[in-house]
Structure 1
Amino acid sequence: MDKIYAIIPVSKFTDAKTRLSPFLSSEEREDLLKAMLKDVTGTLKRLVDKIIIISRDREVLDYAKKLKVDTLVENEDSNLNKALNQAMTYCRGKTRKVLIIPSDVPLIGKTNIKLIIKQASKLDFLIVPSKGGGTNALIIKPCGINMEFGEFSFQKHVENAEAKGFSPLVHDSFYMALDVNTTEDLGEIMIHGKGTDTKKYLESLNISVESIHGHERLKVTRD
């Protein structure tokens, strides 16, 4: 039973990417998340045995079915870490490893995710950090450690793994570290996201980017 399942937790579409307001409207932020989900699932379909999107939002679950991936209804009174524990419990006994990955890493196809998964087949624990100290990918056996997603989760996950006797492998990747939360992140997608649905969507909104030398590296505007 040498399988790997991918788990993607997704919050309500109506709560999508509020930090991008007012640069993007509520409807635009929802469509952005849909484009990113399409990029993430499209890449993973070729590499994992099953993709599971867990959410309490009926719109999210319906969209997941359009993407032809499996769904799991998140329990009531849950949160991100509880939802991930729920999904891992569901996977236990069905697969040897789970890949936990967020919905907002549209450049996943630009990194060597195939290599990451191959490395993880021989390891107990593999983690990909996000910029800012978070976690943008985690490969472990189901329920292998306690979930600590939130602020500075990377170090917490590493410490939990070490406490369990695992030897964490850290895989640094610029593309995988880029989760989309700010307008500057949108600029990075415009620069590096050739061939992705996410970049195509941003282009449809007439978003443009230029390099600047100031507090921020990129200036992102709309025509």
Structure 2
Amino acid sequence: MRVVVPFGGRSPKTRLAPFLDADERRDFSLAMLRDVLTAIERAGGDPVVLADAPVDVEVPVTVDDRPLTDAVNDELGGDEPVAVVMADLALATPETLERLFETAGDVVAAPGLGGGTNALVVRHPDFSVDYHGASIADHRTIADDTGASFVEFDSMRLAVDIDEPSDLVEVLLHGQERSREWLAENGVRLDRGDGRVGVVRERR
């Protein structure tokens, strides 16, 4: 299955700015992207990166600096199914993605925390995406309007996208090799404290 992986390389992960500087955010974003690409390939997918700027990875890259919705919609609509998997799903495993790809339905969607859509499998030629606002609700409506069946794929590993410093806890606990190692090598560690687990950084 062809798998489109959107990647914002121009100014990635700005909400991590209190924790990582601009160069570090780009390096960490690339580590997550490479983990996602590896998981896709091991799940039997054929990934292509859809980036807003050139990026050096070992798979094909399509550069498209339009808004995410427009860029992804140009990748849909053919006779073959297409999956869309976000580049910051650092917890994604081959086993989880394989189950996603194999789940039957015209549109199979993995919700993100907070109302987003972190992964999709599209098998209906008339379905289109809309990533503004609560996109999981919008995608359910779009599927209904186009007569496509809609299946929600429930997965913790696909629900957690890495946007905020608090999300780094999940990478350290459950993340894949490159992302987890990048954090450890750059002094990011768990802060177990007395309540909810957080992260702290030891500058080197």
* Aligned counterpart for 1:47 among listed residues 25, 30, 43: 43
The answer as to 2:164 corresponding to 1:174 is no
Unpaired runs of 5+ residues, structure 2, are none
Give how far 1:170 is off: 0.6
Instruction: Please say if 1:79 is aligned against 2:61.
Output: no
TM alignment of 1:1-223, pairs within 5 A: 4-11=1-8, 13-58=9-54, 60=55, 63-64=56-57, 67=58, 69-74=59-64, 78-88=66-76, 92-93=78-79, 96-109=80-93, 112-120=96-104, 123-141=105-123, 143-193=125-175, 195-211=176-192, 217-223=196-202
| Preserved contact between residue 106 and residue 196 of structure 1 (Cα < 8 Å) | no
Aligned residues, how many?
A: 202
Instruction: Judge conservation of contact 2:43–2:95 (CA < 8 Å) in 1.
Output: no
Pair 1:180–1:111, CA change in 2 (3 A): farther
Q: TM-score, normalised by structure 2?
A: 0.91
Structure 2 CA distance for partners of 1:101 and 1:49, relative to 1, 3 Å: closer
Distance 2:173 2:129 in 1: 33
> Contact between 2:188 and 2:200, CA under 8 Å: does it hold in 1?
yes
Residue 110 of structure 1 deviates from its aligned partner by 6.8
Cα 1:138–1:220 change in 2 (3 A) is same
> Residue 164 of structure 1: CA displacement?
1.3
Matched AA of 2:140: V
* Percent identity for Structure 1 against Structure 2: 27
Q: C-alpha separation between the residues in 2 aligned to 1:54 and 1:22?
A: 27
Backbone CA RMSD of aligned residues: 1.9
User: Could you state the TM-score of these two structures normalised by the residue count of structure 1?
Assistant: 0.84
Q: Residue 87 of structure 1: CA displacement? A: 2.3
1:187 positional shift = 1.1
Query: Per-residue deviation at 1:142?
Result: 6.6
- CA drift of 1:138 comes to 0.7
